[in-house]
Amino acid sequence: MLRQTKTENGWVRGIPAADPRITAFKGIPFAEPPVGDLRWKAPQPKKNWDGVLECYQFGPMAMQTPVKADPNALYDREWHVDPAHPMSEDCLQLNVWTNAKTGDEKMPVMVWIYGGGLMSGYPAEMEFDGERIARRGVILVSVNYRVNVFGFLCHPEITAEDPEKPANFGHLDQQAGILWVKRNIAAFGGDPENITVFGQSAGGGSTMSQVASPTNKGVFQKAILHSSGGVFPPSSFGLKLADSEQQGVRFFDVLGVKTLDQARRLDAKKVFEASANRALYYWGTIIGDNFMPDYPANYLKNNKRNNVPIMAGNTTAEFAVVPTGDTMEELENYAKAKFGDMADEYLALIKKGSSSIAEMKKKGTYNSFELGNVLMLDNNNTNKTSEAYYYNFNPEIPGWDNPGSFHSSELWFAFETLAKCWRPFKGKHYDLARMMCNYWTNFAKNGNRNGLDADGSQMPEWKAYTADQRGAMLFGETPEMIGPNEDEVFNFLRREYANGKIGDSISSFAYRAKIGPWAQK
């Protein structure tokens, strides 16, 4: 087994995974620590080290709200179970799982970007274990990156210091990790010309940002977007660079500093605590630098994104948009505020066949991530770009909390890590997870998600999303293709968002763009 290999910066030694045929290299530094003078700068090349670096443990999580392991909180009991996991600004490390025996095997590579709203998250979360993916002959790499104020602060002094890379440090960290893979993965048995980038939630939105960025031409070959929002990734909330710089000026005032140098000398914990009030600050993707000159949705709309095949999907029970109001007058006001000139058509649709306000609200409810994904895939068809595939995840999720197919629940299945979860999963869940992981790794290998299951039988065919076939692969009790969503309200939204009659462009939800202190003119 390949337990030791040489990277561009020096030798690294890995550790056997639970399956000793797999080697895990944990905590490989891919850039210099972003501390001191490197705080709020693009990631800098890692200096070489002497000897062999023992890569046996995950690196620390980026600065964020500490893990509390609260059993009463869904995500805490699901996987944020270790409050002792270290946290540090020195967080730019990545992890590699490989079953290569030599450095000459040219295995396909999957690079994982975790979610957390660009505010939190870390690759050491237990559901992200890469062993099951590596057992299928695909190398898994997970990349850590800066989040919240450390990853996305802007300030006029920062821009003046480096006009080429003045913002989006968290996204630049992700990109630096992907580029490290391209330069180094051959040493782990990987193929630098067969890289699939994938992520979930803000990681899926980040993946879309990487797909859209003009600085990534030819860097990777495929992308998988879990619950990314489609044309509405986190950058839909994003400030333009000039507005974000002014947010940074206000933040420095709160910190009590006058210069960038003074801000870089402050304790990291103090900086984070001052920044954590979401009523005052929004930290996320910035629009207007070289990495992200425009909204990712506009790159998609104008057929300027990096032309790579895409798999995209969402869970059924995530981020429902529910009309507000308990009277007809309130519901009408909601419709006028959200849909403008199209309010009457929307109201007619939700009134049809409804005998109460509650029924109208139910008819007007939709999954925002499903809508964003369908708009993205429709646009892909219009522009006749690369192949695309759509999925909807909705199995029964067991447990005393009866959570439904909640946001992030598919992660246990895509990584096939159900055995690490506290939930009483049964055989049908393990069968579904095995096939999902098969589809994901098949796509990474050659772009064709279809293939054989472990017993040699053919898995259900997952058809491409095309203008003539707008169906989805439903991951329910078993995988099966289903037709497009024919709900009248959903298709009203699909049509009117796409033609620009709702909102100022397809780059933002009207209801999102008009809330929060970051919605500045």
102-116 confidence digits (pLDDT tens)? 999 999 999 999 999
Residue 295 belongs to some domain of the structure:
yes
Residue 339 belongs to some domain of the structure:
no
Q: Phi and psi at residue 213, in whole multiples of 5°?
A: -60, 130
394-453 confidence digits (pLDDT tens)? 999 999 999 999 999 999 999 999 999 999 999 999 999 999 999 999 999 999 999 999
pLDDT at 501: 67
Task: Round to whole Å and give the CA distance between 485 and 374.
Answer: 9
* pLDDT (mean) for 35-54: 98
Residue 411 belongs to some domain of the structure:
no
Residue 366 belongs to some domain of the structure:
no
Residue 31 belongs to some domain of the structure:
yes
- CA distance to 287, 308, 346, 477, per residue, from 324 (Å): 30, 39, 14, 33
Residue 457 belongs to some domain of the structure:
no
- CA distance to 453, 486, 488, per residue, from 472 (Å): 20, 13, 18
pLDDT at 280: 85
Residue 422 belongs to some domain of the structure:
no
* pLDDT (mean) for 241-266: 96
Is the pLDDT at 92 greater than 90? The verdict is yes
Residue 12 belongs to some domain of the structure:
yes
Q: Which domain holds residue 87?
A: 4-314
Give me 140's structure tokens.
């898994």
477-502 confidence digits (pLDDT tens)? 999 999 999 999 999 999 888 877 66
DSSP secondary structure of 159-199: HHH-TTS-S-HHHHHHHHHHHHHHHHGGGGTEEEEEEEEEE
pLDDT at 508: 39
CATH assignment at residue 20? 3.40.50.1820
364-382 confidence digits (pLDDT tens)? 999 989 999 999 999 888 8
Strand-pair category, 52-54 with 93-98: unpaired
The domain tally of the chain equals: 1
315-337 confidence digits (pLDDT tens)? 999 988 899 999 999 999 999 98
Segment 352-355 long-range contacts (CB within 8 Å, at least 24 positions apart): 352/488
